[in-house]
Structures are given as C-alpha cells and as structure tokens.
Amino acid sequence: MDPVVAETSRVEESVAVPVPVAGSSARRATGWRKWLCRRLLGSAGNPSVCLVLDDGAEIRTDAGTGRHTGEIRVLIHDDCPLLALAADPIYQFPHQFSCGTIEVEGDLVELLGLINDARPPGRVLAMVGRLVSRPWRVQKGTSLWRARQNISHHYDIGNDFYRLWLDRRMVYTCAYYESQELTLEQAQVAKMDHVCRKLEIEPGDTVIEAGCGWGALARHIASCYGARVRAFNISREQIAWARQRMVEEGLSDRVEFVEDDWRNIRGRCDKFVSVGMLEHVGRRNYSELGSVIDRVLEPGGRALIHSIGRNQPRHFDHWTEQRIFPGAYPPSPAEMARIFEPHCFSVLDVENLRLHYARTCRDWLERFDDSAEAVREMFDEAFVRTWRMYLAASVNAFQIGGLQLFQVLLARERDNTVPWTRRHLYDHIEKSAVSGS
C-alpha cells in the first residue's frame, strides 16, 4: 500500500444511524475526528470507500447516496490515533490494522487497489509520498551477524507456520504460471524448471545455490537434472527442514545443505543460482556478491539472480522493513548491475515476472486466510492481521507495478557457447502441445 498525501477535494459525510452525543466536548471531539477522516480520504485521492466511526458516522466521497452494494467500509475505532494516521498513512494504516484499531469490511486487496488508483499523479505529490515514507531512516545493516538476525526474524518463526499456506515443497518465491490453469504447486515446479532451463543444467554439473530457503530448488536440480548441489542458507529452521527432506528423498549423495553465509562460499561450480536472496544482501554488498560469483564460476558457467526489485531506487516502506523484512531492500536494474559490471559478466537474459508474483501472493493470501484460525492459535490475532496486511499489500504492489520481479542470467564475456536463441526455454511447451494433440 502506498497512499500519497495530496490536497483534499470536496468530501461530505452522511450519518446512517444518528447517535446523540452527550456534552459539547464530546461533540467537538467527534467533529474533529470526522474532519480528520475527510482529510484522510482526500490525502488518499478520494477513493470510493466509506470510513465509519464508532458513533456510526459514515464519511465518504459521494455524499447522500447511502450505503452501496459491495462498498468497502473501513471501521476506524475511537482508540485509533487519527492525527498520526493522517500525518503518516503509509506506516500507520498497516500498523493500526495490525493493532485492530482499524478494521476493513470487504476485500483488503481491493481496498489497497482503490487507494492506489485514486491517488493523484504528479511529481510534487510523489515527492511528498517519498518524504512521508521516511527515506532518511536508518536501515538495519547486513553484516554477517546482523544478516543472521534479519533472516531469523522472518524465516525462523516456525516451519509449521509456513506449511499452512505454502505449497507442499515449501517454495517461498515467485511461482511461474505457464498457463492460468496451473495450481500453486504446479506453478512452483514450473518456476524451478524455468530456472534450470535458463541455466542449461545438465547431468554431472556442479551447482552452487546461495540462499536456498527450504531446499526445494536444490533437491529439484539433483533429482530431475542429475546435478550435484551445494546450497547455502543461514536460517536454522529452513536448513533443518531441507536436510530432513534430502534424507527422505534419498538425495544425500547429490545435495549438501550448508548453514553458512553467502560471503563464505568457496569451491567451483558450473552453475550459480540465487533465488530470493538478493533482497537481503544489502546494496553495499552487491559488488562482493559479484566477487563471489566470479571466484566460484567456471569459465563456461552460467549464473542466475532472481530478486524482487523496483524500477527506480527506493526502500521498502518503513512498516514492511520494520515488521516483516528487516534489512531488506528491492534493487533497481541499475543497482543490480553492481553485481556483474565490475567483473565483466555478460547479461544473457532479463525477464520480469511481476504479474506472476502478484498471482503467487494472491494464492498465498487465500491459503493463509483458510488457515487463519490455526495461525491465531500458534501466535495471536495481531500476528494474523499483520501477515494478512503483508500478503495483501504484496499482491497490490506487484499488481500495480510498485514492485517488480527480475530474473537476470549471466555468463563470462568471452563465452561463445551461449545459446543462439531462447528456443530451449520453450521447447517443452511445443512438445507437450504435440503429444497432447
């Protein structure tokens, strides 16, 4: 969610259920809160939503028409600090939603979309939005010690939690929907195959994976492509899960899961892959990541970096950075260039899977909502609301282009064995169509 503060236009309110207020001070307080609600709607560009106060007052942009069918209603309780909300909606809206002082009657993703569709365009307003999002804040670092703390904050909260709403392989990165009919499980396998085809992984290859999550890609490479994989991760929970699955699937002779930071990777490999780790590396370390790839990659090797990003340099909003991904940063393509430019890597392919990630996050959100009661029993209501906001805001951010998903394929600059065309990426689709006809 990224509402931008703007000058309000005419907003009126209607009171559905008039409730008498005792005392002039109470009336003044109610009037003050209604005025702030009008300003709040205006700052968001006057989206077609209804704000509802605890006394029954309804504030909307189209006065006098009453409640609409399918109208999204935002309940703002008396304990919600409206002044703070109006001053810093980018942080306070998700924060107050998590606290329960704001509730939403209707589709949360649709609400965030309405806010983004309504916000006025313009350089001045965009600048105000950037100021409100606190770009001057001190972001948590990504030193060896801090990186482990950052990762633990998000990924070590329990494998049982993630099992409730991820696919059965526990893939927590963008899926690849080759067709709209694919399930989440099928799309995650399609993503792993898409990555392997780009890297041209063959039997006998050695592969190094940096930031392996729960190990699904490493195991897939070994079992389906016949390669040997060394996969690195600093999340204890994820490594424990990955090692257990490796043994159960009989892959101990082909896969090694190493609990260590990417900066400590040694050895040589034919293929280097990192899916969903660059967001946690830190901008200052991009050149060092390039040095690691340069150190380990064989002359005829390939490297693939898969990362959330932005079209222009910009932090995650403060709420996301504080509550969900401490120390994380989504790079722009120009910033990603710091990885390969100093080491003369050639870019073979750049693909943007933004809409695939919007669909992935929507699937995650649906599965999360289906498991909300179990999550509540594991944690509490505030945790459920926090993660619902995070997943809904992620759907919206990828849908409107606030976030991108880049896959960048690299090779040595003198490597003339690079593919002549991209046909190898899509031959399997033609073969499937022929065999199915």
- Whether residue 385 contacts residue 391, with contact meaning beta carbons closer than 8 Å, is answered with no
- State the Cα–Cα distance between residues 262 and 277, nearest whole angstrom: 9
Phi (first) and psi of residue 328, to 5 degrees: -85, 155
Over range 7-33, report the average pLDDT: 49
Sheet holding 345-352, edge to edge: 255-259, 228-233, 206-210, 269-275, 297-309, 404-412, 345-352
- State the Cα–Cα distance between residues 341 and 391, nearest whole angstrom: 34
Residue 29: pLDDT band by 50, 70, 90 thresholds? low
In the chain, count H helices and then E strands.
Answer: 17, 12
Query: Which pair of structure tokens corresponds to residue 51?
Result: 């704000």
- Whether residue 200 contacts residue 419, with contact meaning beta carbons closer than 8 Å, is answered with yes
Over range 250-255, report the average pLDDT: 98
CB-based contacts of 133: which residues, under 8 Å, 6+ apart? 2, 90, 91, 315, 317, 318
Total Cβ atoms within 10 A of residue 421: 7
Find the Cα–Cα–Cα–Cα dihedral 43, 119, 115, 31, rounded to 10°.
20
Helices (H), 249-401: 286-296, 318-323, 333-340, 354-370, 372-378, 381-400
Q: 232, 278, 271: which is closest to 404 by C-alpha?
A: 278
- State the Cα–Cα distance between residues 175 and 361, nearest whole angstrom: 9
Over range 98-120, report the average pLDDT: 92
Which long-range contacts (C-beta less than 8 Å, at least 24 apart) are formed by 175-183? 175/356, 175/357, 175/359, 175/360, 175/363, 176/353, 176/356, 177/356, 177/359, 178/429
Over range 358-379, report the average pLDDT: 98
Q: Is the pLDDT of residue 25 over 80?
A: no
Q: 190, 195, 197: which is closest to 419 by C-alpha?
A: 197
Statement: 12-132 belongs to CATH 1.10.3470? no
- Whether residue 245 contacts residue 223, with contact meaning beta carbons closer than 8 Å, is answered with no
Q: Check residue 300 and give its pLDDT.
A: 96
**Bridge partner list, 409:** 304, 349
Residue 274: pLDDT band by 50, 70, 90 thresholds? very high
SS3 165: coil
In the block, which residue shows the tokens 């209804």? 50
- What is the chain's mean pLDDT, rounded? 86
pTM of the model: 0.87
Q: Check residue 15 and give its pLDDT.
A: 37
Domain with CATH 3.30.1050 in the chain: 12-132
Fold category of 144-436 in CATH: Rossmann fold (3.40.50)
Total Cβ atoms within 10 A of residue 304: 21
Q: Check residue 5 and give its pLDDT.
A: 31
- State the Cα–Cα distance between residues 277 and 273, nearest whole angstrom: 10
Q: Is the pLDDT of residue 3 over 60?
A: no
SS3 233: strand
- Whether residue 113 contacts residue 396, with contact meaning beta carbons closer than 8 Å, is answered with yes
Q: 292, 217, 229, 283: which is closest to 262 by C-alpha?
A: 292
Over range 37-55, report the average pLDDT: 90
The segment with the largest mean pLDDT, out of 69-73, 129-133, 232-236, 304-308, is 304-308
Q: Check residue 44 and give its pLDDT.
A: 83
